[in-house]
A and B are shown apart, each in its own frame.
Chain A
């Protein structure tokens, strides 16, 4: 693939590259650059005071904690769903397969109001739970439920193609050499799935940290208790506190950036470990 030769034959590189860079800059890069730029206009003390305000810190803790809980639930059940879809056949498999993408397709506000209605103390699911003294809506548990809904497809869609691509001959070889099904599962299947599993977990987690629409309805939005970080940004904006909103946004960006870096590191470690 000689680059020069290719360029001489195919036309349009300059034009399409120009459109790509111009559009990317106008729509994404310049708007996003306003975030760090706006932060520069604050003094360090001001910035620090905003982002360590107890109410703000409580929101980080809630956002991260609920996201972690939701991603963990999805890591377990999403993996089961991916396994079942990839390996077993049952009536309605294609419909379930298509439905897994519902959280991508259903607007988050719709998810928010329907989950709130379902889990409210009078709702289809909230009423039976209330009998056992479990309240879901307007508690951190409710936030977690919404984040489970939002994150499920990330785990399933990351794992499913990897499970489908597992070479059955390896499992066959291990079985014929006397390995039990459990042995095959723990020694062959799970180690091979581990990097994808971790990626799915990370994607679900990252999405959950920033999620807004599906959470604001079910959370109840009580300061210090059920107020997530994205909501605090909105609250500050509504009070025309642009600096405060920006400061929290910068912290959130930093958190997701650090998370992604950490997970990337973990992943390449896992890949090295699996490779012979």
Chain B
């Protein structure tokens, strides 16, 4: 109530407010809403039958399966890592802590193309380990393992950077109390720690999954574009588009568009939960680390 009164007194004249809002919304419409609508409009350019044909085609199904496989491996591994890193970095003080935080963020600082390149340098036919591994029957680059590795790399920081600040903000009192009362390590984690971090963890999983399923640059470099074998959905979209089969490309792209919409909805729901639990934890009143924010993904 007081806030609203204040806001009225402290705001710009109505005409200014109205103009700014219109300009901002026009920008959002032009750059975000029109492209999103266009994806679905182009996907149905040849009607429902054309759409269905593009989706059920064997190569598209194979691409969908590989995308699900890559995300299905990458996300759980990154969850394990994120929780372990959250416990070690969020609950303990040690030297080199800040360095570790910076290193965890590295995959965000690197161009997706470079993320793929490093795995080609390691495992490619002219890479370091590549010749030896290929001789022994392990094909990594231009095969599924390379796709999975690149996917793990690009989605690596998401869970950790959500979980670490929450672990830190919650503090250690509750765990210490449980410990003193005789709780074992696993009991401690599942009964005390997990309930505190679950929304942040879920938030990290949503972001990591979106990136894992949608990654293009890194996966493109390591895939070799073998149809039905090393194509993920985004790569399949590229191939169809470059073959001037735009309608099929957009039909497959619309699946990824749906993924994006679901991601945004889940994100908005979980975000309010994260904020609520952060406020509940705020009595621990440890200053939140500057890099912790839902921004800067």
Residues of A in contact with B (beta carbons under 8 Å apart): 1, 3, 6-7, 9-13, 15-17, 19-21, 23-24, 27-32, 34-35, 38, 77, 80-81, 83-85, 87-88, 90, 94, 96-115, 117-118, 124-125, 148-149, 152-154, 157-158, 160-161, 168, 171-172, 175, 181, 203, 206, 209-213, 217, 230-231, 233-234, 237, 240, 242, 245-246, 249, 252-253, 256, 260
Contacts and interface: CB of A to CB of B under 8 A. Distances in A.
Contacts of A103: 32
Contacts of B93: 1, 3, 6
Contacts of A20: 81, 84-85, 88-89, 100
Nearest to A236: B117
A69 to B, nearest CB: 14
Given A1-B93, A10-B91, A213 B234 contact: yes
B253 A113 contact: yes
B33 A99 contact: yes
Contacts of A210: 110-114
B109 interface: yes
Q: Name the residue in A10, A29, A83 with the highest tally of chain B Cβ atoms < 10 Å from its Cβ.
A: A10
A249 to B, nearest CB: 5
B234 A32 contact: no
Contacts of A242: 120-121, 124, 126-127
Contacts, number: 303
Contacts of A35: 114, 117-118, 121
Q: Name the residue in B3, B11, B109 with the highest tally of chain A Cβ atoms < 10 Å from its Cβ.
A: B109
Interface string B85-119: 10111011110000010011011011111100111
B156 A27 contact: yes
B134 interface: no
B11 A11 contact: no
Q: Which 6 residue pairs of A and B lie closest in terms of their CB atoms, listed nearest first?
A: A210-B111, A107-B214, A157-B295, A213-B216, A212-B217, A105-B260
Contact of B172 (A6, A110, A124, A160): A6
Interface stretch (B34-42, B54-62, B194-202): B34-42
A234 B31 CA distance: 27
Nearest to A97: B268
23 contacts: A9-B176, A13-B92, A17-B88, A19-B85, A20-B84, A24-B104, A28-B156, A32-B106, A34-B118, A81-B28, A83-B20, A96-B25, A98-B267, A99-B36, A100-B32, A109-B214, A113-B246, A114-B42, A124-B34, A212-B111, A212-B217, A253-B110, A256-B109
Interface residues of B, number: 105
B103 A105 contact: no
B48 interface: no
B118 to A, nearest CB: 4
A160 B121 CA distance: 40
Interface string B10-23: 11110001001101
B237 to A, nearest CB: 5
A31 B216 CA distance: 19
B220 A98 contact: no
B216 A107 contact: yes
Given A32-B106, A157-B295, A113 B112 contact: no
Contacts of B1: none
A17 B86 CA distance: 9
B297 interface: yes
A16 B88 contact: yes
Contact of B112 (A29, A77, A83, A213): A213
B162 interface: no
B296 A88 contact: no
A193 B184 CA distance: 47
A107 B217 CA distance: 10
Given A81-B24, A81-B27, A96-B25, A10 B92 contact: yes
A130 B241 CA distance: 23
Contacts of A106: 36, 214, 256-257, 260
Contacts of B36: 99, 102, 106
Given A28-B153, A83-B20, A99-B32, A246 B121 contact: yes
Given A113-B250, A118-B38, 18 more contacts: A1-B93, A3-B94, A6-B176, A23-B77, A35-B114, A101-B264, A102-B36, A102-B260, A105-B214, A105-B263, A106-B260, A113-B238, A114-B38, A124-B34, A152-B32, A209-B111, A240-B126, A246-B121
A77 B156 contact: no
Contacts of B253: 107, 109-110, 113-114
Interface in B231-264: 233-235, 237-238, 241, 246, 249-250, 253, 256-257, 259-261, 263-264
B173 to A, nearest CB: 10
B122 to A, nearest CB: 6
Nearest to A25: B103
A233 B113 contact: yes
B65 interface: no
Contacts of A6: 91-93, 172, 176
B21 A84 contact: yes
A158 B112 contact: no
